């Protein structure tokens, strides 16, 4: 009987454990409800590791456990990989093994969509069409990875620009923030899903202490 697995990944070498899996868990739980599928905890794999390599403990365990016809669900392509060339090779290897990959935020590179494209090419029995299809698959993955990386860089830049701007302003001393502003809340939400943003960046931008920031992180996390 074919099984459904879930894979989640966060990564950082600094302040490990601060980032949560909350958004990934919520997205996958919502997909399960919509598709009337239950994924038991024993088939949910989580890694706190870089997406630049597939040498991740839980990922290697997952690869050992899956079989032909099984499905792996990810929130987005970046949970699978952040590295283009090896990511494409790993994708094709899993596709060839008959493993279904579902990327909730990137449906055009989910294997169901790709298999439909392949089916069209196979029915045409045209070598040029098949070659074009492989190039299209590679391009789709590249575009999605590049888009995700660009979004990450924009988020980091905005945080750093905010720090630079706030340093020019006089006003509230560290730790004296009366309430959480919408801007701070938005930045904390970004921090929870993007580990390239550091706590110290937020502390400097909003002139708050680490303890104050932790309290706000707890508040935002509990509402996610």
Give the per-residue pLDDT at 155. 61
Q: Sorting pLDDT into bands at 50, 70 and 90, what band is 156?
A: low
Mean pLDDT of 108-136: 77
Residue spans of beta strands (DSSP E) within 15-162: 44-48, 71-74, 100-103
Distances (CA, A) of 135 to 12, 130, 190: 32, 9, 33
Mean pLDDT of 120-143: 74
pLDDT by residue (tens digit) across 69-117?
A: 999 999 999 899 888 778 888 998 999 999 999 999 989 889 998 888 7
Q: Name, in order, each residue with C-beta under 8 angstroms of 9's C-beta and a sequence gap of 6 or more.
A: 46, 47, 48, 49, 51, 56, 59, 78, 79, 80
- Cβ burial, residue 77 (10 Å; 0-12/13-18/19+): buried
pLDDT by residue (tens digit) across 20-44?
A: 889 999 999 999 999 999 999 999 9
C-alpha 186: how far from chain center:
18
Give 219's Cβ-side CA count (13 Å radius): 14
Q: Name, in order, each residue with C-beta under 8 angstroms of 174's C-beta and a sequence gap of 6 or more.
A: 203, 207, 208, 209
Strands 71-74, 4-10: pairing kind: parallel
106 backbone dihedrals φ, ψ, rounded to 5°? -135, 65
């Amino acid at each position: 009987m074919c099984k459904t697995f879930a894979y989640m990944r966060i990564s950082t070498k600094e302040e490990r454990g601060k980032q949560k899996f909350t958004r990934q868990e919520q997205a996958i739980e919502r997909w399960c409800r919509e598709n009337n599928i239950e994924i038991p905890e024993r088939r949910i794999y989580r890694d706190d590791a870089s997406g630049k390599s597939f040498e991740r403990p839980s990922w290697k365990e997952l690869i050992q456990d899956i079989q032909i016809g099984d499905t792996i669900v990810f929130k987005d392509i970046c949970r699978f990989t952040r590295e283009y060339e090896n990511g494409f090779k790993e994708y094709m290897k899993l596709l060839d093994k008959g493993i279904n990959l579902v990327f909730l935020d990137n449906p055009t590179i989910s294997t169901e969509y790709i298999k439909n494209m392949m089916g069209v090419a196979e029915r045409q029995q045209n070598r040029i069409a098949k070659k074009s299809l492989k190039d299209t698959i590679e391009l789709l993955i590249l575009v999605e990875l590049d888009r995700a990386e660009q979004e990450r860089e924009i988020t980091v830049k905005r945080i750093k620009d905010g720090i630079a701007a706030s340093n020019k302003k006089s006003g509230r001393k560290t730790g004296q923030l009366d309430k959480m502003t919408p801007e701070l809340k938005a930045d904390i939400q970004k921090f929870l899903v993007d580990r390239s943003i550091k706590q110290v960046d937020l502390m400097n931008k909003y002139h708050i202490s680490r303890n104050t920031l932790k309290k706000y992180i707890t508040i935002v996390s509990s509402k996610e």
